[in-house]
Amino acid sequence: MILPAIDVLNGRCVRLAGGDPERVTIEGGDPGEAAARFAADGAAFLHLVDLDGAFSGSSTPGLVEAVLAAAGGTPVQVGGGYRTIEAIERALAAGASRVMVGTAAISPGFLAKAARRLGERLVVAVDARDGLVVAEGWARSSSLAATDLARACSAAGVARLLVTSATHDGSLAGPDLELLGDVIEASGLPVLAAGGIASLGDLRRLKALGCEGAVLGSALWSGRVALADALLSTA
């Protein structure tokens, strides 16, 4: 599955280098327009990240609703600032198909409760730098290994992981195949890959590795990869 990325900062689509809000590499305009365009181009799922929410810990009012309205029925997974069950359920009530959580997933007791209540609608974001989990919009490093979080997710009954290399994200340097392979092996769960994907060859390598899908960001926004070609290459 190919999921076009819609990362939103201050109401506009952006691509960031390494998740740093001071390093905007691409400015892409209105998120609703992007959602409508990707849906029209055949995306089966959209990937919306509220960067303001990720940095502040509180999701941006109205963003999910605006993108869903523009997407015209194409399902959307959303993330950025969802750190309580109640916040997740509000996004689902607004129409999101899945909600991604990162920072909350490293809190004791959260995983099992969330997995039990949300099932397939929950995606745990395993965001890592040098093999260790990062949180709070990637501003805070932890001592928790990505593989240990992956195992905890599997034990808790989490349905799906989104694995992003913070050092590769926005770099167009290729995905972190070692990180992805380690997480797949540790968890046994379906994995969506993100970070560094730059070519159709990268997408094929991710499929061969066993990834369920890939989030296509900078390569798509910069014009290096067309969504139609990405969909065909992984069909």
The ranges assigned to domains in the chain are 2-233
pLDDT under 50: residue ranges of the chain: none
**Dihedral pair phi/psi, residue 171, rounded to 5°:** -90, -20
CA distance 28 to 30: 7
- Write b or e for each residue in 28-42: b if 16 or more Cβ atoms lie within 10 A of its Cβ, otherwise e: beebbebbbebbeee
- CA–CA–CA angle 44, 48, 52 (5° rounding): 175
Architecture of domain 2-233: Alpha-Beta Barrel (3.20)
pLDDT score recorded for residue 177: 97
pLDDT in tens, 116-165: 999 999 999 999 999 999 987 777 788 899 999 999 999 999 999 999 99
pLDDT score recorded for residue 225: 96
Query: Helix (H, G, I), strand (E, B), or coil: what is residue 63?
Result: helix
The continuous run of DSSP H or E covering 191 comes out as strand 191-194
Token output for 160? 């799906």
Which residues lie below 8 Å from residue 153, measured CB to CB, with a gap of 6+? 105, 111, 115, 124, 126, 161, 187, 189
pLDDT score recorded for residue 21: 86
pLDDT score recorded for residue 166: 87
Q: Are 91 and 82 in contact (CB under 8 A)?
A: yes
Q: Report, as residue numbers or ranges, the catalytic residues.
A: 7, 127
CA distance 36 to 156: 36
Phi-psi region of 19 (alpha: psi -120 to 50; beta: other; left: phi over 0): left
Which one-letter amino acid corresponds to residue 233? Answer: S
Q: DSSP string spanning 71-103?
A: HTT--EEEESS--SHHHHHHHHHTT-SEEEESG
**Dihedral pair phi/psi, residue 121, rounded to 5°:** -80, -5
Q: Are 65 and 95 in contact (CB under 8 A)?
A: yes
pLDDT score recorded for residue 109: 86
